[in-house]
Amino acid sequence: MDQTALMLLLCLCSSALSDELRLVAGRSRCGGRLEKKNLGDWEPVKEWNWNFTSAAGACRQLHCGSVVSSRRDKDDNVEIICSDSVRLVQGTNRCSGRLEVKTNQSWSSVCEKDFDLQDAEVVCREIGCGPPSVHQGALYGEAEAPVGSREFLCEGSESALLNCSSRKSSGRNSCSPGQAVGLTCSDQDDIRLVGEASRCAGRLEMIYQEEWRPVDVWDSYWTMNSAAAVCAELDCGSAVSARNSEEASERPVWFIFPDCLQSGSALKNCLPCDATSDQSHQLICSGLLVEPLIFLSSSTDGVSTGRKQGSELLIGSHFSIICSIRPQYDGGSFQLIFSTSNYTQNQTLPAVNHSALFLFSAAGHAHQGTYRCVYHVYVFSYNFSSISQPLNLTVSGKLMESIRKSSASVSAFLTALIIRLVVVLLGMLGPVLVLYFKARRNQKSGPENNHHDEGSRAEGSLEEETAV
Ligand SMILES: *[C@@H]1O[C@H](CO)[C@@H](O)[C@H](O)[C@H]1NC(C)=O
Ligand SMILES: *[C@@H]1O[C@H](CO)[C@@H](O)[C@H](O)[C@H]1NC(C)=O
Ligand SMILES: *[C@@H]1O[C@H](CO)[C@@H](O)[C@H](O)[C@H]1NC(C)=O
Ligand SMILES: *[C@@H]1O[C@H](CO)[C@@H](O)[C@H](O)[C@H]1NC(C)=O
Ligand SMILES: *[C@@H]1O[C@H](CO)[C@@H](O)[C@H](O)[C@H]1NC(C)=O
Ligand SMILES: *[C@@H]1O[C@H](CO)[C@@H](O)[C@H](O)[C@H]1NC(C)=O
């Protein structure tokens, strides 16, 4: 949004607190197009110094409640909707504070015992916030609820607190100052970054009144600090870059008043103004990458993820550590960091298909320690990295025990095998021996040397076989 457009918008979205104000053409006297009286004539307000405080001021000046919304209609007029007879005061944002109800043209607190969760639901809805999360006395300053105030009997679905049935408060003088209702409604607004492979990068959007739109803030007010606040709000670390981009055409945006950002308020607590613009804000936060996963794969246990209690390997088993990351960006590398109490070492492999395999031969006590995968990638002209959960590896000597156990069964098997072999061999040896003795008898009775040689050769080959 350029400066002229901004001035126009600010003029259109503005109010002058010193002037006589009114809201026209709305559903009630607390909602509609904002006008001020100028030399006897009503005209749309023109005020440079518009901000959310001013909107709240306009509602107050009109003896209405809190600002529920502000928008610009098709004829470029500003509409403000204030709640009619409820407001939250002294809160940290527009959706929290001490509850005040207007009765008979004056505002007063409400006694805790006259107010329940259903009543809170109605109030939160009426001021355009999400459902109540906390309601409790003296959260937002103390105030004395008037004696003889009303007890609200809402069903929860009413659109306004004064639509609920009520009855005269039962307790007399029993509402002490510390029991004035303080209310926290959840924020209905939320923000997100869209258009990139990560939830921590992209175009800034905001949902308001159930509609997602790009956010527009006047460029010179959109600083790295604002970007840092958004990254923090999204739990995405710190801001790496923030730039403004121009879209091909104008489209509906939520325009954020600069004062809300300057006051350090979270963006989602800023009340947006309905506008159109071709500007958008592109952000990149440091928490761009998702967390990589770490797996242990071993010849004995198969693949397992790092468990809280740690992973155990048998001495001598082959193992590998697999690092992998949900596909976001191509390329990058995995660094495997191994640490013990007195020693740290690392190795790096390129990421192939978003994973890397670190192979280890026979596990020994030197492999005991903590392993972590760190994924590194260069995108958007910056280096990013993210680290996995630790995998604690212990190597135990249980293998020897299992070898002993299994060797017992192996020797039993071998014994059975040898017995069978001997039986078979004896069976084969029998006819040969018969031949041998026959041959010896023949040798004694006649000269048949050739026969003898063949017999001894057969014997020799059998001896070899037995030895095997
Ligand atoms: C409203 O206020 C007026 C004047 O202050 C008073 O006369 C009237 O009784 C009040 N009404 C109620 C319902 O309290
Ligand atoms: C609330 O009261 C207003 C009049 O004060 C009425 O127009 C509206 O329909 C009521 N809403 C509900 C939900 O009762
Ligand atoms: C809001 O605007 C008013 C004038 O309308 C000004 O006095 C006040 O300082 C502004 N607040 C912030 C936080 O900019
Ligand atoms: C680390 O400490 C252990 C005993 O605490 C020792 O056996 C080992 O040699 C040390 N390793 C290194 C690299 O200093
Ligand atoms: C990784 O190892 C190299 C040397 O091999 C060392 O310079 C570097 O500091 C190590 N990095 C980490 C994070 O331990
Ligand atoms: C990467 O994954 C794809 C699909 O899962 C597969 O076809 C391809 O062979 C893999 N490449 C490597 C180098 O493992």
Nearest residue to 76 (alpha-carbon basis) of 29, 3, 14: 14
C-alpha 63 – ligand 3 centre gap (Å): 20
Residue 346 Cα: closest atom of ligand 5: 1
Nearest residue to 215 (alpha-carbon basis) of 292, 267, 144: 267
Q: Which residues contact 446 (CB under 8 A, 6 or more apart)?
A: none
Task: Please tell me the predicted confidence (pLDDT) of residue 103.
Answer: 82
- What whole-number distance in Å separates Cα of residue 51 and Cα of residue 260? 7
Ligand nearest to the CA of 10: 3
Please tell me the pTM assigned to this model.
0.58
Task: Please tell me the predicted confidence (pLDDT) of residue 458.
Answer: 37
C-alpha 321 – ligand 4 centre gap (Å): 23
Nearest residue (CA) to ligand 2, atom 5:
163
Task: Please tell me the predicted confidence (pLDDT) of residue 47.
Answer: 56
Verify whether ligand 2 is closer than 6 Å to residue 159 (CB atom).
Answer: yes
Residues with CB under 6 A from ligand 6: 352-353
Nearest residue to 218 (alpha-carbon basis) of 35, 48, 45, 15: 48
C-alpha 347 – ligand 5 centre gap (Å): 8
Nearest residue to 214 (alpha-carbon basis) of 227, 203, 222: 203
Verify whether ligand 3 is closer than 6 Å to residue 263 (CB atom).
Answer: yes
C-alpha 104 – ligand 1 centre gap (Å): 6
Verify whether ligand 4 is closer than 6 Å to residue 343 (CB atom).
Answer: yes
Nearest residue (CA) to ligand 3, atom 14:
259
Ligand nearest to the CA of 339: 5
Q: Which residues contact 437 (CB under 8 A, 6 or more apart)?
A: none
What are the tokens at 95? 């959706």
Verify whether ligand 4 is closer than 6 Å to residue 369 (CB atom).
Answer: no
What are the tokens at 36? 């001020």
Q: What's the Rg (C-alpha) of the chain? A: 41
Residue 47 Cα: closest atom of ligand 3: 5
Nearest residue (CA) to ligand 6, atom 11:
353
Task: Please tell me the predicted confidence (pLDDT) of residue 388.
Answer: 95
- What whole-number distance in Å separates Cα of residue 379 and Cα of residue 385? 10
Nearest residue to 182 (alpha-carbon basis) of 87, 40, 307, 46: 87
Ligand nearest to the CA of 343: 4
Verify whether ligand 2 is closer than 6 Å to residue 121 (CB atom).
Answer: no
Give the domains, in start order, of the chain with CATH numbers.
10-84 (3.10.250.10), 85-188 (3.10.250.10), 204-285 (3.10.250.10), 293-399 (2.60.40.10)
Q: Judge whether 282 and 202 are in contact, CB under 8 Å.
A: yes
Residue 262 Cα: closest atom of ligand 3: 13
Cα four-point dihedral sign 439, 445, 448, 453: positive
CB burial readout 315-333, b (16+ within 10 A) else e: bbbebebbbbbeebbeebb
Nearest residue to 86 (alpha-carbon basis) of 103, 104, 69, 74: 103
Residue 159 Cα: closest atom of ligand 2: 13
Task: Please tell me the predicted confidence (pLDDT) of residue 15.
Answer: 39
Residue 157 Cα: closest atom of ligand 2: 13
What are the tokens at 259? 């004062």
Task: Please tell me the predicted confidence (pLDDT) of residue 54.
Answer: 72
- What whole-number distance in Å separates Cα of residue 454 and Cα of residue 451? 5
Cα four-point dihedral sign 422, 428, 433, 434: positive
Residue 352 Cα: closest atom of ligand 6: 13
Got the DSSP string for 262-309? Answer: HTT--GGGSPPEEEEEEEEEEEEETT-SPPPEEEEEETTTEEEEPPTT
Tens-of-pLDDT digits for all 468 residues of the chain?
454 454 444 434 443 445 688 998 888 889 988 888 888 899 887 654 456 667 788 888 898 998 887 766 558 567 788 998 899 988 877 788 889 998 878 888 888 888 888 999 999 989 888 888 877 766 666 666 666 678 889 998 888 898 999 888 765 556 776 778 889 988 666 889 999 999 999 999 998 877 899 999 877 778 888 899 899 989 999 999 998 888 889 999 988 877 777 776 777 777 788 888 999 999 999 999 999 999 999 876 666 655 555 788 888 889 999 999 999 999 999 999 999 999 999 999 999 999 999 999 889 999 999 999 999 999 999 999 999 999 999 998 765 555 555 555 556 555 666 666 665 565 665 555 555 556 666 655 544 444 444 433 333 333 333 333
Q: Judge whether 107 and 100 are in contact, CB under 8 Å.
A: yes
Nearest residue (CA) to ligand 4, atom 3:
342
Residue 343 Cα: closest atom of ligand 4: 13
Look-up of token digits 């070898």: 403
Report residue 443: phi and psi, to 5°: -65, -45
Nearest residue to 31 (alpha-carbon basis) of 71, 87, 75, 89: 71
